[in-house]
Amino acid sequence: MTQRDAWQWALVGAVVLGIFAHSFLPRYEWRAVNPGGTAVIVYDRWTGRFQRAEYDAAGKVKAMDVFTPF
């Protein structure tokens, strides 16, 4: 094994580790606010911001402003 092969295996390992970690650390979490599911709260775990989105009868989204609590 040459030094170049070692770097390639290290790069492959880093990519695999990144994909594995991303599957367990998702960025967004969302929850339906009302029982009908027409209003949704989206939480960005990486930045700590919230956003509310409401769907009308035609299925169009009305997104509210992004809220940063602190």
Give the single-character DSSP code of 57.
T
Write down the pLDDT at residue 21.
86
Sheet holding 39-44, edge to edge: 28-32, 39-44, 49-55, 61-63
Rounded Cα distance, 11 and 1, in Å: 15
Q: Which two tokens stand for residue 48?
A: 């700590």
* Residue 1 confidence (pLDDT) above 90: no
Q: Which pLDDT tens digit goes with each residue over 30-63?
A: 999 988 889 999 999 888 999 999 998 898 999 9
Write down the pLDDT at residue 11.
96
Q: Which pLDDT tens digit goes with each residue over 14-30?
A: 999 998 888 888 889 99
